Amino acid sequence: MTTKLAPPTSRTFTYFPLHTHHKASIFTTKKLQGSNSHVFDKNRLNKCRVFCRLSEKESSKIVNGVKLNDVDDVKGVVVSGLGDELDGKNEGVDGNWPPWKNLPQRYKLVGTTSLAFIICNMDKVNLSVAIIPMSHQFGWSSSVAGLVQSSFFWGYALSQLPGGWLSKVYGGRKVLQIGVLGWSLATAFVPVLAGFMPGLVLSRVLVGIGEGVSPSAATDLIARYVPLEERSRAVSFVFGGLSFGSVLGLLFAPPLIQNYGWESVFYIFGVLGIAWFLTFQFVKDDQPAFSALPSSRPGNGSVKSLNGSLTELGDSLKDVPWKAFFRSEAVWAMIYTHFCGSWGHYTILSWLPTYFSEELDLNLSEAAWVSVLPPLASIFVTSIAAQFADSLIAKGVETTVVRKICQTIAFLSPATCMLLASLDLGLPPWELVAILTGGLALSSFALSGLYCTHQDISPEYASILLGITNTVGAVPGIVGVALTGYLLDTTHSWSLSLFLPSIFFYLTGTVVWLTFASSKPQTFSSRD
């Protein structure tokens, strides 16, 4: 950055950076009067506030003399006077229209990623509702229906590690775009292939592959752009889109199925994802990416273009410290905890509408409406959990303690409620619905527990760590969902097939998490 300062006298300025990872700088105009000042970073858009005691006319001259990236551009610079001349008011040098023009890039990325996650779960839960009329039309048993639903998780498990690695190499934004387009196209083809079981299974595998890269892509974005004190809220907002997507999917699927047939939910939801992809091409970044990733090697925090050579890709894969990951107790704690949480989440997500329909004798619309309640309540709980976690961290509570508290709530709450639902207490259906809704909603505390820990211990490898834990976490979707259908056919008991296995994993996961989990930053080295 070069500067040309008109005033001949020395003035004192304070530079307050936009991101909390950077320290404030105090400097004078004499210090700025050089061809190569290092007060600002030449490689980033320097968005700041300049405080000084001088007239408004003088301040305008000084700010207009500042050149960012060798271009006379003062976008985002706000000048405030500490003296009486400016009367303590902030004045923007450029206009602020449209309202999102000067919105920080991390907010834009978090918002659009959350929207993609909404569509993600709409495409995931549509089958859990459509499976009921599809089973009747094609004569599927519970075991076959479980196989169809579990096929999604085959692709989901396969794409976790590749998604994490590709997000680190190319950046989560590029990987997310490709993932959304892939799963949306596969969703739209489900009705075409439904009568041919191998084709149907393949289409759901492809949906799983597309959606499987999304968590790692989102984790990479958050680790790169969001500081620690905002991380719980960012994770909750992005992954909370899954709950909102479940609500929308369960609300719209029944009337669409009743009025236009079960095929309509796959066509319409698939088109929504394609529309997101096309619209996202016009969303431009108004400032260079801020990377919060620490790096021990030059350029390690940067991303490569999509036409990178195979040699570069192979080298980047070798640089990943795989052995160091698996020597860490904290990583193993995340792996098992993710497995336990996914068992309860995926089995309930897949079988809850059927449980309400068959066990509580609700029709398709009633079962779908009741199934909306847990994810709807989760949206409310997620916002509370995020504020709770971030406020504790801001007050100085150790991050590990905060993550352990949140994850414990996320596990013990649904375990208790499922235990009550599995016992024959003679409770009416709506009380069972209320109990399950409360327990499943409180499980959203995991977004401020487990799902923040990957970024806490290693922002650099957060996407790959999530790829590892989510690969294991996808196994319950493959085994648990299908096993639930098999147990249901053999035992005819929802308690034995759906609730008790989840309770077991919730309790053991709590013990492992409290014993071994840690959010302390760890330095993973491939040379270890």
- Does pLDDT of 93 surpass 80? no
Task: Please list the residues that pair with 234 across neighbouring strands.
Answer: none
pLDDT tens for 178-212 read 999 999 999 999 999 888 889 999 999 999 999 98
pLDDT tens for 376-406 read 888 888 888 988 998 999 899 999 999 999 9
- Does pLDDT of 39 surpass 80? no
CB 293 within 8 A of CB 224: yes
Q: What is the pLDDT of residue 291?
A: 45
Task: Please list the residues that pair with 27 across neighbouring strands.
Answer: 13
Q: What is the pLDDT of residue 64?
A: 43
What's the rounded Cα separation, in Å, for the pair 313 and 170? Answer: 10
SS3 393: helix
Task: Please list the residues that pair with 92 across neighbouring strands.
Answer: 78
Q: Is the peptide bond before 162 cis (omega within 30 degrees of 0)?
A: no
Q: What is the pLDDT of residue 331?
A: 94
| DSSP notation for 330-356 | HHHHHHHHHHHHHHHHHHHHHHHHHHH
- The amino acid sitting at 428 is P
Span 501-528, mean pLDDT?
88
CB 143 within 8 A of CB 489: yes
In this structure, of 52-56, 193-197, 218-222, 461-465, the range with the lowest mean pLDDT score is 52-56
Q: What is the pLDDT of residue 305?
A: 52
H or E segment to which residue 81 belongs: strand 78-81
What's the rounded Cα separation, in Å, for the pair 232 and 354? Answer: 33
Structure tokens at 168: 């680190």
What's the rounded Cα separation, in Å, for the pair 456 and 436? Answer: 31
Q: What is the pLDDT of residue 429?
A: 79
Q: How confident is the prediction for the chain on average, in pLDDT?
A: 76
Q: What is the pLDDT of residue 512?
A: 97
Of 448, 444, 497, 482, nearest to 246 by C-alpha is 444
What's the rounded Cα separation, in Å, for the pair 256 and 380? Answer: 26
Contacts of 46 (CB under 8 A, 6+ apart): 1, 17, 40, 68
Q: What percentage of the chain reaches a pLDDT higher than 90? A: 24
Structure tokens at 492: 């005819």
pLDDT tens for 448-480 read 999 889 888 988 888 788 889 988 988 888 888
Q: Length of the chain in residues, anyone?
A: 528
Q: What is the pLDDT of residue 53?
A: 43
Higher pLDDT, 501 or 464: 501
Per-residue pLDDT band at 502 (split at 50, 70, 90): very high
Q: What is the pLDDT of residue 204?
A: 92
Distances (CA, A) of 72 to 42, 61, 75, 276, 430: 13, 13, 9, 35, 65
Distances (CA, A) of 389 to 44, 136, 285, 290: 31, 46, 30, 24
Q: What is the pLDDT of residue 262?
A: 92
Per-residue pLDDT band at 354 (split at 50, 70, 90): confident
Higher pLDDT, 109 or 456: 456
What's the rounded Cα separation, in Å, for the pair 292 and 89? Answer: 31
Distances (CA, A) of 18 to 49, 93, 371, 405, 442: 9, 17, 42, 31, 34
Higher pLDDT, 73 or 376: 376
pLDDT tens for 117-128 read 999 989 888 888
Q: What percent of the residues of the chain are helix, what percent strand, and what percent coil, each to the nearest 5?
A: 65, 5, 25
Q: What is the pLDDT of residue 16?
A: 46
- Does pLDDT of 61 surpass 50? no
pLDDT tens for 248-266 read 887 888 889 989 999 999 9
- What is the signed CA dihedral for 350, 356, 357, 361, rounded to 10 degrees? 170
CB 22 within 8 A of CB 265: no
Q: 346-369 as b/e, with b when 16 or more CB fall inside 10 Å? A: bbbbbbbbbbbbebbebebebbbb
Q: Look up residue 24 and give its DSSP letter.
A: P
Span 363-381, mean pLDDT?
78
Q: What is the pTM of this model?
A: 0.63
Span 274-297, mean pLDDT?
60
